[in-house]
Structure formats: C-alpha cells, structure tokens
Structure 1
Amino acid sequence: MRTTKKVISTVLAVCMLASTSALVGSAAVIDDSSAVGADTPYSTACQAIDDQYAYSGNDLGATYSKDKTVFKVWSPTATEVNVNLYKTGSDSEEGAENLGTFPLIKDESSGSWNGVWTTTLEGDYKNIYYTYKITAAPTTGGNALTRETQDIYSVATGVNGVRSMICDLDSTDPKGWENDTHVLRDNVAESNVWELHIKDFSYDKASGVSEKNRGKYLAFTEEGTTLNGEGNIATCIDYLKELGINTVQINPFYDFQSINERGGDTQFNWGYDPQNYNVPEGSYSSNPYDGNVRIRECKQMIQALHNAGISVVMDVVYNHTYSTTSSFQYTVPNYYYRLTKTNAYSNGSGCGNETASERAMYRNFMIQSCRYWVDEYHIDGFRFDLMGLHDVETMNLIRDNLDEVDTRITTWGEGWTGGTSNYPKNTCSGGRFYQATQANAKRLSPRFGFFNDAIRDGIKGSVFEAAEAGFVQGTAASASKIIAGINANTVTRSGWLAQAPSQCVTYAACHDNATLYDKLIMTTNLADYGVRQDDVVSMNKLAAAILYTSQGATFQLAGEEMCRTKFGDTNSYKSSPNINKINWQNVVDYADVISYYRGLSQIRSNFAPFTCDDNTYASAYVINPAVTTSAEVAFTVANDQEGQWSKMAVLYNGNNADTDITLADTSVTDWVVIANRGSAGLDNLGEVTGSTFTVPAHSAIIAVEKSSFETANVQPAKQMGKVKVNYVYENNNKPLADSAVLTGSVGTGYQVVSSVAIPDTYVISKVTGDTTGKFEEGTKEVTYYYADFVPETMKNVDINGDGKITVDDVTAVQKYLADIENLSDDKVKLLDFNYDGVKSVDDVTMLQKYLAGTPVSGGTVTVNYLYPDKNGKYKKLTDPVVFTGRAGSDYKAEIFKVVGYAVDETVEQPDVKGIIPYGSKEINFYYSASNLDIKLHVAHSSKTATWQPNIWLWGSDLSGKDTSNFTQAGSSGWPGDKLTDEDGDGWYDYNFTYKGAGSYNVIISKGTGSPQSDDYKGCVDNEMWIVIDDAATNSTGSVQLLFYLDNPFTNPDAPIATNVHAA
C-alpha cells in the first residue's frame, strides 16, 4: 500500500492574516514594463485573498478510493463550480459518453469558508474522466466568466490533457515498484550529470531499441541494446553505465501542450510549455488515450534508471505555462500569474506570462507538486527552469519540504530570468521578495545549486554571440572565468559568488543554444557541422577536462562526449527529431573521445577535492595567476584523503601551439601524468620531473604526485582494457595521425574505424589487428596502413602501347608535345594527366614524378573574391576559400554574397564548378560596388493577427563584427521603428540605405519590444519579404520569422533566404 504523503501544512500559515479584499482592474495582455519590486492593484488584491483564503491542505483535486471520490477545488472568487464526468478523455474516442454534471459546494467544515469547493461521489469512479465548469471573476475585478477546465491538481489525464482522470495510483505501479528506491549521492558534487530528452535518447534506429519503443518511456526499459542491434557496442542505459554517468537530468516530461498526442512520432518539442504539471507527457507513452498508461510507463523508465544506479533529475518549468487559457487562469482568474500595474501579464519568462510563486496557493502548489513527484515517482532531484523568476522564500520552503524525505535530493536551477519580471515588494508571508537569482545565492540554501554560466561562456564563448570564442579555442581573456570556475565560483567572483561547491553546476553546454561541438565549429570554421576534425575534437576534450577537474556538480549535454551535433541549430526546441536525436553511430566514430570522458570521470571520482560539497579544500588550491597574453591555466590541489593521490597538478592550454607552463606551486618535483591530449584515466602515461610541463595545443595535462600514485594504486571499479589504434604511412611506417586510445570494461565490445584526420589523398592498403572485438586485460593494437592515392590518369598512361607504364611512355608524350611523333586520338585524350585542362610539359613532369615514386595524389584550388580599390587595384573582399583533395575530384565554389558589392557582370567570371588538379591553381571572382538601398516587407502569416510590428536593424562588417545601427530611432530607441502598412496590402514596408559593406541583422518585436524575435543575422539581399509566423509566435511566446526573396503570398515557390539564421 502507498504510504500517506507528508506534505508541508504549516508553510502557509504565515500567509493567512485576516484582511479584506480590494478588487480593481481589467483584462490582461502581455507586458514587461520595468515596474519591478513594486505593488500593483493585482498584488494588493491577491494578498488580500491570501490573507483570507489561503488553504494549507494537501487534498485538492480528486481523491480516489474504491468506495468514493472526493473533489476539492480552491476558487475563492467563484460563484459556482460543477464537475463534469466523461467515459473517455475526449469526445472523438470510441465509447465517448457524458456521464453527468454534479455541483460542488463551499467547504465550511472548519467553521468558515476557506475558498474550497467540494463534493463527494459515492461508488467506484476509477478511470472516469472529469472537468470542472467554474464561474469566477478575476481577482482584480470585472465580470465573472464560466469556463470548463481540467483540474489544476490532475494526476492523470486523457489525450492532450484536456480532461482529468480519476486514478487509482496504486494500480499504476509496475512490477517491483515497492522495492524501487531513490538513488542519491552524499555530495551533490559527486553528480556526473547527462542531460537528455526522452525522444532524443532512442529515436535513432541505430540505438538498437525496438521500433515501437523508440522515443518513448519504454526505451529505457530495454536491456542489452546495442548499436544497430548487432550485439557488440552498448547503447542507451548500458552505455550510460559504461560511461560512468550516475545522474540523468531529463528535459520536461510532465504533460506539455505543444505536441498533439494524437499525432505521429515525427513531432518534436523540448516541452518547456507546461499544461498539467503533475501528469506525465502522453506522447512518450504507448497509449496517450488511457490516463493510466503514461503513469505506469513513466515509472518504468525511472525504475530502469534506478536499477542501473542512475539518479533521475526532473526538469520542471513552474515559471510559466503554455498559455494563459490554462487551468490556473480558468480556476482563479488573475491570481496565479503576475500582472503589471496596468493589469497586463508580466513576461519575465519571455514566453508571454510568468507565474507568481509569492502567492500562497501557487507556492503551495509548487511545494506539493515537487513532493508528489518525489513520493509517487521516486524522483531524485529537480532542475528549475528560469528559477530567477521565483522568490527565494518559496525555493527554500521547497528545499525544506524535500529534506523531510532526504536531504540528498538534489535541487538546482537557472539563476536568471528570461526578461523583466514585475514582482511585488513582498511575498504572501510579508517578507521581502528576493528573486532566486545568482545575485541572491547567499539567501538560498547552499544545497540549491545554480548553473554557472560564467565558466560555460569562459570555456567556449558566449552563447549569445555565435562567433565569440572562449578559452579552449585560444581566447586568453577567458582564463579568469576558468580560474573562478575551478573553485565553483566560491573563492573568486565571476559574475556571481557561490556559498559552497554544492551551489554550483559546472557545464559547457546544455539543451539551449549550440551543442559544444557545434559552437567550436562555429567559432573556428575548421569543418562542417557533423564532421570530425581533430583540432576541434581536442578542444572538446579540453572542455571536458576543465569540467571534470572543477568543483561543483559536473554537467554535460547528452552526447557531448561523442561530439554531438545539431547541425548548427542553436534553438532546436521544435526542430525535427532527426536534428535533435543522438546519433548512436558516434559511439564508434568518437570512441576515443568517449574513452577520454570515461577516464576523466574515473579521475574525478577518486579525488575528494573535486567532489566535496563544502569549502574544506578551498585553501588546498594553488592557482597560477592568469596570463593575459596566453590561454593557459594551471593549479595544484592537495588532498588529505587516505587511499587517494596526495597532490594533483592540472594544466590547461587553450593556445594554438604547444606551450610550456610552469606551476606556481613547486613543492612537488616528481609527477606521474594520468591525462594528456590523447588519453585520460588511472594509468601512468609518463613521468615529469620538475614543475614545468609541455602542454600540447588545445589540451590538458593532469598529473599526480609520484609517490602517492604508487602507494595509493588507485584502481577502477571494473577491470579495464585498452585498444590502441595506429595510423601509419606504409612507405616509412611513420604516423599520419595521432594514435587513438579506446578504453572499456573487460568483456565489453569495441569497434575501431579509420581516421578522418588523414586526407583522402591517402588510401588504406591494409589493416592489422581486430577492428571489432571485446576489450581484454592489457592493450590490443590495431594498425591502419596507408598508401598514396593514385589518380585515374596515372592508371591509363600506357601511351606507347607496350602494356607497361615506363619511362618510354614519358618519351612518347615528349615527342608528341614536340611535334616529333603523332598519337592516336584515343591516346591524346589521355594526356591531361594533371587535370589542369591543357596538355603540356606539366603532364610529363607529373608522369616522371609518379614513375620515380613521388606522390602525385592531390592538389588545391584557391578561390579569391576581389574588388577594385579607388586606384583600380584589386584587393580581397573576404578570405579566400581553399579546396584540397584528390587530383581529379570535383569542387564547387560559392558566390560570396554581401551588401555593397556584387559580381561584376562586365568581367568574365570563372565557372563555379571544376576539377582539382595535381598541384595548385587559383580562380578569381571579380566584384564591383553595388546598390546599397535595402527594401524590406514584413507581414503576418495570419489574417487575424493585427498587431503592428517594430523593426530593429544593425549591420555587421565583413568579419561579422556588429557595426552601424540602421533604424531611424538609432541606438537611442529600442525597440526601433514602428512599421506602417501605408498602401493597405498587408505588407509593412521599410526602406533604408546600408553603410559600408557587410550584412545586416533584424529583430521584429511587438508593442514596447516584447515579445521579440531572435537576432536574425546574415541578411545580404537588397529586397526581402519577412513573414511573421503567427502560429509559432503564439506557441512559443517569442516572435518567429521566415525570410523570402520574393513575395510568398503571390509566389508559392518564393525562394527562402537560406543565409539568414537566428542567433
């Protein structure tokens, strides 16, 4: 039997001071005016309601027993409440039937009315669906409206969450649930967190999950899944166990509104649009129509993770709801959402509304909701979205309540808001309202953590500036953020100061913005998205080394350890599942990176200073002062734990070259290296004497004091094996690329692949060793041998017809070129050996080199973009593009587009397509000054949308750096210029003249600037049609735009401006 939940009942007592109501106001619209920390008619009216009617019970909703069901609704402004019963969760289902309507009465059992309406229905109502019909006036005054709504306190719903369901929760428990227990850690800093999305986790066919369970809760319950179902390389939960992950943070899996649960599995959304907080999302279940199924399968997911020893942290979004046509608004209008002084919705979430945690009953709801998930679903922790919108008092009360279960339940959140919040001066208790932001960290429990955005941006550059690089790409100025983050921002302030490591979540990337690997590609342009490039891989590994050797909880986006890409999508909240999914083939293609992360995890878990929650080791660190001219950070830390290393040295080099770094702490001179550019773990990778280390470019070295390495003899929990993969040139046995080192538990599978770092001008000639197999004790070796690629033209040079390719063929060609001898037409066609389009002595030279054993495998094509200066001299408009590859392979150049210059039509231009020759060649595109006048046309996609948009425009120069502002309001007036539709054709027209040369950027906003669009960058066309996607705007709460090169309303085939991107 389920034990009775002990939910805090005295929390709200301080909010229940006698008072009378003051009701004024009008209908709400969205607003984010700057009147923060001030009382409004709304907050005054709601405080009066809290004082008189706040209810501390934990029995709101439908309480089921076999003999009866008790309904309770808190709605102090209601004049009538009824409950409607239904056979099914929607009218479109087979067997749908309306089972009647029953009135609720005021609950005056305590002697006076407490705002609660109630009724009891005798009999067994299990699995019956219901809604409430509530007639209620806004708290701020006005006419009462009658609305039908699901229950705020729903624990089960039908399809799409519009009808609640009376549920026997005991009957939803999976087999063995009574033995399922929380998986908790003594220190939050021991958490090795993998942030995942339920659909991302198993949507890829290569995951090995059965088709019916891909993207579902039940994917987690499938044991023994392997890559492509081949039985060798572990995927899903088995993969996580092998990786060393002990905590998963799962993107929202309460019931959210953006997915149609009747629809297909190709739908996708992150889920940050709450509908029913205490109900699992139905689209992840095998049957969204039966309210029991999603509950049972959600529990099965959690049970499977617990069985694997993995904690489950739930991502919760109490700061806003999908819309204001919610059960909260329909139950007590204008109570649960903050309103401004003009009774408009405050929009600190950036999603059109924000909830009011300072109100007694929303506070109570948040506390009870968290506790419900802990008690009913065995959730082990919570991540609070935009936690800064909530008040400190409420968050501490949530912490206190969870402590009644176990003090080790984890709580962390985003210590910021998504916009300006219009909160009152005081909370319902009368205490001052403090936002739960990083700035107020000291007011929160030290066991309430904050995501450390300072080290995040320090590692790889700002998430708000696509082109901004961080420490791992070589930015020396970012070193100070890294230094602060090493101690979890507890010693040095970098934006904010934590009380203790327990208050810091250390991370480089999460579901928001670009993946780590994509950000590194964006800022270096070393490869296309999704393509392995070894320097970028090294940066990714350096980022991991920083995370795993810093204090606080360690956090990574799922797949970060396999260089996950979303193909440059920086806001994939509703993008295709194919963009968002984890590509499980990467467990092979990036197996060395995964091994590196695994090794770092082993190092961290065996070194107490990294996993300690308090400031015990603050004085044990000796950190080198920041070097302003070099991206380098180094420190030592002493450790007093028996059986562990006594001192560790950690050195990070973000520079593009190997760097000698000398430790400030010279007390130890004999070191054993346990992590370097290629490998990490518990093994001796080499020894260093002295205090100076040569750290390779974009890498880290971790070393431990030699004598303690020998005496501690730290061993992994499981016996590990290694596979070393070598890539050598067969002509001299010298390496063409660094060896890859794979590690894994003995008996688990491995598969190795050739190196993509080796140019395609080499081809594999043979492989020695087992490319697929099982890890064994010790080290296996696999060696790929490479030979030079031979162009096709070199295979057809028997010019003299003797059946051999010899110097005689050289002589035959020379005689032909000298008009001494003739060749047949068939032979002449073969003479362009080097693919330069002509037959010349260069072809003879290539043949001679080939016969001499000199490689003739590849070449380069350099594409230049040139413009004339005022003196007529051609200069580079932008950096050249260089194509490198096999001789005879194709290339395709792109026409560079920019405002201010266009391809000069008076000059003959080269073909954009061609063939890479042996050797090198250059092609030039010539440009001349062009029209600087820009015409923009903006329209709504919906005829019913009538709001008048604002436009904000600014330029970026040829390097991408922001320059001039082009709105008439200029830099003095956000949100820019109000657009007008002067000719009444539905298009708001706007003209401006560009300054200089480059691109321009656009923001479209509503009202006083909120909601607004993302920064849309990269615009280079002189005329564009911009469509406001009203459906997406209403869905997300932010303005969504589509860019066309022709009017899409009159031309259905209007081309999309593909160069424009949201940043």
Structure 2
Amino acid sequence: MKTRPCYLLLTILALLPGGPAFAQASNFSQLHFRGTPNGWNTQPMTLIYDHLWLTDTTFNGLGDANGDDRFKFDTSYDFSGAYGDTDANGIAEPGGGDIYPPLGPGSYRILFDDETLAYAVTRRNYTEVYVRGTANGFDLSCPMALVNHHTWQAELSFSGDPNDRFVFDHSQDWSGKLGDTALDGTVESNGGDIPIPAAGNYLITLNDQTHAYSLANMSARNFDQVYFRGTLNGWGNAPMSFVGDHTWVIEVNFVGQASDRFKFDRFGDWSEYYGDNQSDGIAESGGADIHVSPDRYFITFNDDTLTYSVTSTDAAEPIKLGHTYSPELTTFAIWSPDTANVKLSIDGDVYTMLKQPDNGDYTDVYAIQVYGDLVLKEYYFLVDDVQVRDPYGRMVVPGTDTNIVIDPFQTTPSGGRIAPPSLVEREDAVIYEVHVRDFTIHSSSGVDADKRGKFLGMVQPGTSYGGVSTGLQHLIDLGVTHVQLLPIFDYGTCSAKDPDYQPDSYNWGYDPENYNIPEERYAVDPYDYHGRIRELKEMIDLLHAHGLRVIMDVVYNHTWVIETEDAYGNKQFSHPEGENMFSDITLDYFNTNAPGTYGLAGTGNSINPRVPMVSRMIRDSLEYWAGEIGVDGFRFDLIGIFDYSEVAGWASYLETRFPDRQLLIYGEPWNGYATDPDEAERVRLGTIGLIADTHVGCFNPKLREAIKGNNDNGSGGGYAFNQLANMWEIQVGSRGGIRYAYTPSTTVNTWDSMFANDPEQCINYVSAHDNLCLWDKIEAWASLNGISNPTYKKRISTFANGIVLTSQGIPFLHGGEEFLRTKQGDSNSYKSPDAINQFDWQRKADNLDIFAYYQDLISTRRAHPGFRMNTWQEITDNITTYSPTSTVLVNHIHGAANNTDSWSEIFVIYNCGLNTTVTLPSGDWHVAIEKADPTEGNGRTVSGSIVAEGTAVTVLYQE
C-alpha cells in the first residue's frame, strides 16, 4: 500500500544531528548522497530522527562534464536505489531527475524524509550557530536550527531579570561571536550583548547572509489557537501559525468564488469568532465577514489588539490550468478569453468560476477550489452554458467529453520510476519509429493475447516466433537507442464518438482529441483510470530499463475533424456532433487563414500558438509528458506550421526544466500543403539553423528523396536505385546536412539541402509511416522496371539505410525495414486494417540476413564516434567528401579527431553503380563492412585500392 507524500514541517526541518540515544525508525537501511561535489560516489547520510536523514555538503559551482552542480539520493551502491526529483517539487521519486541546489554554489544542509520522500536543500553561510546568554550561562546548550535558506532559529526562555541578554556564536570557542552594539537589528563580529525586554520564551531568528536578527516572545499570547475560516475552505477550520508577540499568520489563495470572505475563530466551533463591522482593520467579536477579491494573501491577526492585516503576495507562478489535486481540495482552472460565464460541473454540482488576476501574457483564467477528496470524480466545464471538456484534462471517460479527477501519486508504477539510459550527445541517437498496435497485434508477436497492441505488449519480455526474437527483445537485439511512438495521446477515431467506429477500427492517431491523456485502446482496461496512465509509465520504464529512450509523436498542429469528400472529390471537414475540442471555448485557438477556415494543416483546423495562451498550452503539455509521464523527446507532426521562434521558446523552456535529460525535439519542416503568407517565419530547412542553440532538428527530405526518389510509387528511383540525378544531396546529407558556412544568425534558401548549423539538427531517413514503406517502394520500382532478382532488391534496402546509418546527423528507421516489412503497397495506411499495418514476424524469420546487416551497422555506428560528430566545426575539419567516379561517393573521416574513436581513420564508400575499384589512402586498411553481408570481409586487410561492390556501402578503417 502506497502512502501519500507530504512536505517536511518546520518542526522536522529544525531537527539537528545528535538527539536521543535510542534507535530511530527508518524505511531504509542506508541512504547516500551522490552528486557532483563527491564525484557521484556514495556519501553516507546520518539518520537523525525517525525517518529523517541529514548530510552537509558544499557545491563549488563547477559541476561536471555533463552539467551543473546536482545530486541524487541513493539507497544502494550502484544507483539501483536512486531517488531524484523530475518535477522539482520537493518530493523525490525513484529514478527521478537530478536535483539542483536552489541558490547556486555554496554550503548546504540536505534533509530527506524516507517516509514521505520529501526533502529540503537549504543554503547557509555557517555550519553551526548557537545562542549564548544569561538564560543558559552563555554555554553551547542552545544550538540554532537551519529552517530556511540562511535562516537560523532557536527558542530560549528568559526569567525577566533586568540584566537578561544574549549573543550569537557560529563557532564553539567565541571566535564566531556576533552581537549588536548599536541595537539596530543587525549583528556584527564581536558586537555587544543584545538585551531581552521582558520575561518570556523567545523565538530568536538570525539571517547569516544579511546578519539581521529578530526576537518574538512566544509566551505573549492570549489565545491558545486561532482558526482561519472562509469561503476558500468551505468555512472549515484552518489553524493559523503563532509567530510570537500575540501574532498569528496564515497564507491563503482565494481563486474566486461568489463574494470571497473570511473570519477568525478562537476555538473552531463558532463560540467566539471575530469579524470586522467597520472594515477598519480592527476585528470585533461577532463581527461581519471580511471581504477580499481573488488573490493570494498573507493574513495576520493580533490576539491582544485584535488588529489584522491582509497583504497581497506576488505568486511566483500563476494558477495552473486543468485540475490540481490534493486529498483536501482540488483546484480547477480554464482559459476563457471570450466570456466570463464559466462554470464547473463536478459530481453533479455546478460552481461558478471567477476570473483570476492576469499575469503578463497569462490572462483570462477562471478558477475554483472545491474542497474534499475528489479523486476519480467526473467533471467538465460549462462555457456560456455549453459543455466543454478540460483542454488540460489528464483523463476522460471513454467515448465522452467528461473528464476524471486524477491523483498522480496513484499512477506511479510499483517500485517507483526508472530513469532513462544515458545519452551523452544527441547525435548518439538511433531512432526507431513504431506504432503501438502494429508492433504486437499479430499473433506471431508472441505477446499474451490481452496485451497485444497495447502499452504492456510493447514491453512483454522474452517473446519470440519461429526461433527469432520479437517485440521488446527485438528492439534490444537490433541496438537502437530511441523508440519513436506514433501518437499515444487520446485520439478521436477508433472511439465510440467516431461515426465509422468498429471494434477492430484502426488509425495512426493523427487526430488529437485529448492532448494530455493516454489513448484508451492501448490500455488493458481503459476504465481503470489510474491504471491507464500507470501502464504507459510502466512501458516507458521498462524501455528505459533495457537501454531504450522514448520519443512521443505529438500533433499540436491541428485537432480532430471528420474528413469526407464532396461529389467532386474535394475534401470536406466537420466536427462530430458535440465534438469541437476548442471551438466551443474560443476560436482564438485556431489559425484563421481565410474567413471561416482554419487550414494550414490540411485538415481545416490548424492551431495558432502566436496567441500566448495557446503557446503556453503546448508548452505545458510538453512539460507534462516529459516530466510526469517521462518521455525523452518529441517528434512534431507538421512542425512547419509553427513559427521557429515559438518552437525555440518551447525547446528552451524544456532544456531549462530538464537540463540533464538531453531531450530530442524534431519534426517535419513543412505544413499541410497550404499556402502560407508567413513562410519566412515558419520552421523550414532554411530557418532551422537559426535555432540550433535550442537543440531543435528536422527531418531531411532532401536526402530521403535523393536516395529513393518518389515516395508514393515506383517512379523516380534515386541513388539507391542506381540513379544519379540527386547525388549532390547524398554528399551533403551524409555530412549531416550542415551548411556551407556556420551562420547561426542567418537563413538559407527555404529547401536548401545544406541547412543545419549543428549535425543534431539533421534527422536522416529513407522512409517513415507516411508514403510507401521502403520494401513496397522497391517492389513498385522493380515492377515498373521489370526487375525480378530478389537478391538485388534486398541489396537496395540495405544500401539505402546503409547510407543513413553511416551518415553524420541522427539516423531514423521506420519500424520493420530491418526485415523488409510490407504494407502490401498501401502508401497511406493511416486507417487501413491490421492486415495491412501489423508486424508479421515471419518476415523477420525469412530475412534474418537483412536484420543482421542493420544490426551490425547500428552496432558499428554506436561503437565509433567518427560516425556521429557533434558540431559543424568537427565535420568541416575532419571529413573529406569527394566522388572518384560518377557513381561513387567517399567520406574520409578522421576518426581520432576528438580522441574518442579507436579507429583513427574511417573510409566510407557509397557505390550506386557497377563494382568499381576505388583508390585508398596510404597504409593498410581493415575491412569492417562490405557488400550486403556485414560480416563478409571482416578482419581482411587491404592496401592501395579496393573493389567496392555496387549498390552497397563499404567501410574500412585504420587503427
């Protein structure tokens, strides 16, 4: 049974090492601090109280080769028990992200509660401070506790003697004495004693940064307790905190209800309460409600003078959209720029939502707090009395527009999360694209019947068919680093709302309905709402555990519509009845390019992130998937609809939020075949170089078409088909598509094949889910050209992706190409049945030689950094590209450029013609890859020249 985490209380934070000599309770037998200060070694933490561990450390600001100062907790010696904090919310989770010191370099005290998993990282200038005074004989019996950054506190009782006084000491030998000669509230070294004004138990506070101090007489109180009661907590009892000198405080957030107001209550039973009849800041017994407008406030109450104060506080972050759950209350918020008539309906009750204060571009937000434990309750919003679902919703009842309140804690897999495998450079990635259903729906997958085509089917271990590995083990054996999943959010087709729905309906999923909810068809039980999210997290975690990162295909460019054709074959778009996603909230979500149309995506409804709150929605969604769900990157469908500046903003934000994650972000640098008057502002090959510093890349269509020609039929075969028309694109594409000159501040031609300012911006590929898959393209071309030789057709496949896998940049493979997957000639299988799209694992058994070739090329690439240089300069300085004949292209790579490759020189030959003799540079060369058989020639040594076989990649090296 899991227990809910809660934050460390001030009284817990105040505990110091030492304490009673009895055993303390703990859930861990040991706990280590591991981070950059100690080279990620194990530094034991001390159990100082029940479940509370402590260590002190200093961050020097140097970090390490992989980033800034940071750390994790670890219950083990090998990181198998590591705890981090992906969300940076003060609660650690197994496998979470690195934790960063909040105030930069300096000395910190670190506390960890092994019961709640809460932790505190507190900056200090002193390692210890004592209060020494007449009350304790000026000894060391009153140590102060570090309760906040630079803030120390202790309580000490004084008798009322006129000579009562004290000083501070941050040593144990008076060398660190601090007093206040001028009695101005600031201490100085060796300053005078500080007098105590009257008898009492004093809370003494010192700031070791500003040297300011304060005294609060904790004995000066007339009430034992004061409760805050108001509309924000349903008039329940919220205890206020006593801070001394008759003063009680509380911080509250009124998010907007009808006539927000409050009172003070002495006993919590209304027998003695205080309000304000005159609205003059002085409360009276039995007084009237105190009214406030929506805002966050710091409220004080003096139980001697009955004065109170209400001070607006500047919230660091505006209220979050969607729902924010806690067992005590849930906050609901929605953006509504067109109307103030906004309501929440939850569990049959309707609440009026009130507008929140605008915060810069964060505007027109309406919110409400509803008290009680609302987990799994159904809700929706009403905008001008029209039902709309939550654009930020985390769960929905299948086939409806009704959202579900989710407790994120209950979606965590048992045993906690598993961190992604290391990725040093983005160019180290090898991406494999796959559809969740395609991968395991066929019985030959070996996956259990109830998991086929689902998240858990993706990661069922040990599956095989006909003696060959399938599913997860296939991915492991192949050696790729990243799995790119076609859309896994909740999409509109294949649901009960789809007029064409059938139980065996199929769709790729490029019709988003709920951006932040996992697709129901991929869950074992879509009505197990927490389980639906948990299964997705389990899939990601198990992929992580086996060395695979996860990229999510996102479709923020448009929303779901029904597509039909008129009598003339023209596309018509319409929303299903009652299914307008955003338009019943506001049309401001959409990009209007003609009256009544919203069409840059080619689907009639493109999204417009030039509206700040729409851009924020996309950014928040990306943050949710990367943070809470744990994906490792995003492939943007039609990223070319967006301004490159907007995309750069999202990427920069994610880099700031997850600086150690090396997230991959890339997309299609085109729109949905629409004329766009703002072409120069959009993501294109010509503009992508402007945002290289944000690590955003794009697909390289120039290399794709140069290799294979036409995408949808057998015509126009490219270089892999022995045609030379676009050999230039092969040359520059194999160099990572880098620009002729490094020009990070200028554009190039819109579709220039030399577009990247960093090789990580270039995603090289031959085929993807769109268009004919590679084998079907080969078959169509062969049929058109009278080619029947099966061996030759297979060689085209290995040659085409052999170029991709030996090129600079990031290689991308469409799933199944490694065993000649076919979709039976369907060039647009987005809604074709399983019979077309499914992985038939018999094809792997039939084409193990092809699989072995891909496997060996991937292994070679990953073993040798010479194939994956990291900068424009490295490629320019260390790769010589030339064509010794009209059909041959050579890349001579100086592999030892960064002193990391065991191959000092690498010689890559692409030959689309007949067998050709190619002259080699001087010296002996070892043959690594030759012909279509990766093992043939391994270990052979040649010099002078080599016969490079046609329609093949040849790789040689010198040690």
CA displacement, residues 197-230 of structure 1 (integer Å, 9 cap, x when unaligned): 00011011011001111001110231111116xx
Of 185, 197, 209, the match for 2:423 = 185
Q: Which residue of 1 aligns with 2:457?
A: 219
1:819-858 correspondence to structure 2 within 5 Å: none
Shift of 1:642: 4.9
**Distance verdict in 2 for CA 1:701–1:109, change over 3 Å:** closer
Q: Which residue of 2 aligns with 1:603?
A: 860
1:810-889 correspondence to structure 2 within 5 Å: none
**Code of the aligned partner of 1:644:** S
The reply on whether 1:440 has 2:687 as its aligned counterpart is: yes
Shift of 1:113: 11
Shift of 1:608: 1.5
Shift of 1:307: 1.0
Q: Which residue of 2 aligns with 1:403?
A: 655
Q: Which residue of 1 aligns with 2:757?
A: 499
> Matched residues in 2 for 1:133 and 1:680: separation?
62
**Code of the aligned partner of 1:163:** T
Q: Secondary structure at the match of 1:350?
A: coil
**Code of the aligned partner of 2:731:** I
Q: Which residue of 1 aligns with 2:325?
A: 64
> Matched residues in 2 for 1:301 and 1:4: separation?
18
* 5+ long unaligned stretches in structure 1: 8-54, 87-98, 136-145, 426-432, 709-1063
Q: Which residue of 1 aligns with 2:942?
A: 688
> Matched residues in 1 for 2:640 and 2:426: separation?
21
Aligned CA RMSD, in angstroms, stands at 2.8
> Matched residues in 1 for 2:635 and 2:900: separation?
34
CA displacement, residues 330-354 of structure 1 (integer Å, 9 cap, x when unaligned): 45322010113x5332312111121
Shift of 1:697: 2.7
Q: Which residue of 1 aligns with 2:409?
A: 170
**Distance verdict in 2 for CA 1:221–1:476, change over 3 Å:** closer
The reply on whether 1:259 has 2:517 as its aligned counterpart is: no
Contact 2:771 2:827 in 1 (8 A): yes
**Distance verdict in 2 for CA 1:103–1:124, change over 3 Å:** same
Of 365, 379, 383, the match for 1:134 = 383
**Code of the aligned partner of 1:562:** F
**Distance verdict in 2 for CA 1:261–1:209, change over 3 Å:** farther
Shift of 1:681: 5.6
The reply on whether 1:458 has 2:719 as its aligned counterpart is: no
Shift of 1:189: 1.3
Q: Could you state the TM-score of these two structures normalised by the residue count of structure 1?
A: 0.56
Q: Secondary structure at the match of 2:366?
A: strand
1:203-214 correspondence to structure 2 within 5 Å: 203-214=441-452
> Matched residues in 2 for 1:498 and 1:159: separation?
43
> Matched residues in 2 for 1:420 and 1:4: separation?
39
**Distance verdict in 2 for CA 1:545–1:116, change over 3 Å:** same
Q: Secondary structure at the match of 1:159?
A: coil
Q: Which residue of 1 aligns with 2:469?
A: 234
Contact 2:759 2:808 in 1 (8 A): yes
Of 359, 370, 373, the match for 1:124 = 373
1:196-595 correspondence to structure 2 within 5 Å: 196-227=434-465, 232-260=467-495, 266-323=504-561, 325=575, 329-330=582-583, 332-340=585-593, 342-404=594-656, 405-406=658-659, 408-420=662-674, 422=676, 434-446=681-693, 447-463=695-711, 466-491=714-739, 494-525=752-783, 533-595=790-852
Contact 1:339 1:422 in 2 (8 A): no
Q: Secondary structure at the match of 1:602?
A: helix
State, as a whole percentage, how many aligned pairs show the same letter: 28
**Code of the aligned partner of 1:297:** E
> Matched residues in 1 for 2:553 and 2:462: separation?
27
Contact 2:336 2:586 in 1 (8 A): no
> Matched residues in 2 for 1:497 and 1:167: separation?
44
**Code of the aligned partner of 1:309:** G
Contact 2:389 2:581 in 1 (8 A): no
Shift of 1:421: 5.3
CA displacement, residues 82-134 of structure 1 (integer Å, 9 cap, x when unaligned): 22235xxxxxxxxxxxx232222223598999412222211111101111111
Q: Which residue of 2 aligns with 1:678?
A: 932
Shift of 1:555: 0.6
Q: Secondary structure at the match of 2:341?
A: strand
1:637-786 correspondence to structure 2 within 5 Å: 637-640=893-896, 641-642=899-900, 644-655=902-913, 657-662=914-919, 666-680=920-934, 684-690=938-944, 692-705=945-958, 708=959
> Matched residues in 2 for 1:539 and 1:204: separation?
27
CA displacement, residues 532-562 of structure 1 (integer Å, 9 cap, x when unaligned): 9211101111112101110011110011111
Contact 2:337 2:364 in 1 (8 A): yes
**Code of the aligned partner of 1:168:** D
Query: How many positions carry a matched residue from both structures?
Result: 618
**Code of the aligned partner of 1:61:** G
Shift of 1:467: 1.2
Q: Secondary structure at the match of 2:340?
A: strand
Contact 2:711 2:771 in 1 (8 A): yes
**Distance verdict in 2 for CA 1:625–1:658, change over 3 Å:** closer
**Code of the aligned partner of 1:105:** L
> Matched residues in 1 for 2:720 and 2:931: separation?
13
Q: Which residue of 2 aligns with 1:634?
A: 890
> Matched residues in 1 for 2:786 and 2:521: separation?
33
**Distance verdict in 2 for CA 1:528–1:515, change over 3 Å:** farther
Contact 2:459 2:471 in 1 (8 A): no
Contact 2:378 2:403 in 1 (8 A): yes
CA displacement, residues 952-982 of structure 1 (integer Å, 9 cap, x when unaligned): xxxxxxxxxxxxxxxxxxxxxxxxxxxxxxx
Q: Which residue of 1 aligns with 2:172?
A: none
CA displacement, residues 376-417 of structure 1 (integer Å, 9 cap, x when unaligned): 111111111111111112111111111121251111111111
**Distance verdict in 2 for CA 1:78–1:6, change over 3 Å:** farther
CA displacement, residues 913-958 of structure 1 (integer Å, 9 cap, x when unaligned): xxxxxxxxxxxxxxxxxxxxxxxxxxxxxxxxxxxxxxxxxxxxxx
Contact 1:177 1:303 in 2 (8 A): no
Q: Secondary structure at the match of 1:570?
A: coil
Contact 1:527 1:533 in 2 (8 A): no
Q: Secondary structure at the match of 1:476?
A: coil
Shift of 1:617: 3.0
**Distance verdict in 2 for CA 1:643–1:445, change over 3 Å:** closer
**Distance verdict in 2 for CA 1:113–1:371, change over 3 Å:** closer
**Code of the aligned partner of 2:643:** D
**Code of the aligned partner of 1:120:** Q
Contact 1:206 1:585 in 2 (8 A): yes
Q: Could you state the TM-score of these two structures normalised by the residue count of structure 2?
A: 0.61
**Distance verdict in 2 for CA 1:109–1:583, change over 3 Å:** closer
Shift of 1:647: 0.9
Contact 2:639 2:670 in 1 (8 A): yes
**Code of the aligned partner of 2:950:** A
Contact 2:358 2:365 in 1 (8 A): no
